[in-house]
Amino acid sequence: MKKLLFKELRLCLNPQVIVFVCLSVLIVIPGWPSLTSFIYTFMAIVVIFPIALANKDLEFTALLPVRKTDLVKGKVMLAVSIELASILISLPFALLKVFVLNNIEGFEVNVPDLGINLILYGIVLFLCGFFNLIFIPWYYKNPFKIAKVQIVSTFIVIALTSVLIVLFILIPDMSIFVNTFTGTALIVQFASLLAGILVFLSFTYLSFRLGAKNIASVDL
């Protein structure tokens, strides 16, 4: 498993991917819709597949003593690593904004937003799982053609993210509720995070199973 992930890191990562992953630090910007910071995560994932094609990753892996399903497993592991890295990188900057910068006079911008809370990260995990479920199985129907699946999958997840951002802007009471850290609101926050984790795990596992099923019929 470790060797498979190491192979993915060597063949499929480049500086562009790393930059996209690190852009979750933009969550610290005042007035910046918090969900927007994670759009770059999906861009990082779609970038690794053309890199893999250019580096003959499929052909190379097919020569190794591994099953076809391991091709999918390696990419899913890499995608999950990118998603979790993006979330982890954002955390210290999110905490900096909430506990330090927002307490500086003139820094905080009072615009209705999802904000920084457990619900935010529950939604991010849901979006990651949802993206995996769309992108991975579709890509492995024909892993030598990437453009259409790249564009459509990214458009869908960005559109959904935009709808969620606008929803919290248009309904200020919802924004106030999700940024309340007491009573029922706090329970909803923990429940939302747990739901996000479960959906992420379920959708990602399903994306692997469907991707493995699709690649079984592909001639490498």
Instruction: Tell me whether residue 133 is in a domain.
Output: yes
Query: What SS3 string covers the chain?
Result: CHHHHHHHHHHHCCHHHHHHHHHHHHHHCCCCCHHHHHHHHHHHHHHHHHHHHHCCHHHHHHHCCCCHHHHHHHHHHHHHHHHHHHHHHHHHHHHHHHHCHHHCCCCCCCCCCCCCCHHHHHHHHHHHHHHHHHHHHHHCCCCCCCHHHHHHHHHHHHHHHHHHHHHHHHCHHHHHHHCCCCHHHHHHHHHHHHHHHHHHHHHHHHHHHHHHHHHCCCCC
pLDDT digits (tens, 9 = 90+) for 69-91: 878 888 898 999 999 999 999 99
Instruction: Tell me whether residue 220 is in a domain.
Output: no
Instruction: Tell me whether residue 51 is in a domain.
Output: yes
Q: What is the mean pLDDT of the chain?
A: 86
Instruction: Tell me whether residue 36 is in a domain.
Output: yes
Whole-structure pTM value: 0.90
Instruction: Tell me whether residue 115 is in a domain.
Output: yes
pLDDT digits (tens, 9 = 90+) for 22-73: 999 999 988 788 899 999 999 999 888 887 777 776 777 667 677 778 788 8
What average pLDDT does this structure show over 2-13? 70
Can you tell me the distance from the alpha carbon of 79 to that of 46, in angstroms, rounded to the nearest whole number? Answer: 9
Asked if pLDDT for residue 134 goes beyond 70, the answer is yes
Instruction: Tell me whether residue 177 is in a domain.
Output: yes
**Domain with 210 in it:** 2-215
How many domains are there within the chain?
1
Asked if pLDDT for residue 131 goes beyond 90, the answer is yes
Instruction: Tell me whether residue 163 is in a domain.
Output: yes
pLDDT-derived band at 105 (thresholds 50, 70, 90) equals: low
What average pLDDT does this structure show over 185-202? 95
What average pLDDT does this structure show over 9-25? 85
Asked if pLDDT for residue 158 goes beyond 90, the answer is yes
Do 120 and 191 meet the contact criterion of CB atoms below 8 Å apart? Answer: no
Asked if pLDDT for residue 101 goes beyond 90, the answer is no
Q: Which of 32-36, 99-103, 206-210, 211-215 has the lowest mean pLDDT?
A: 99-103
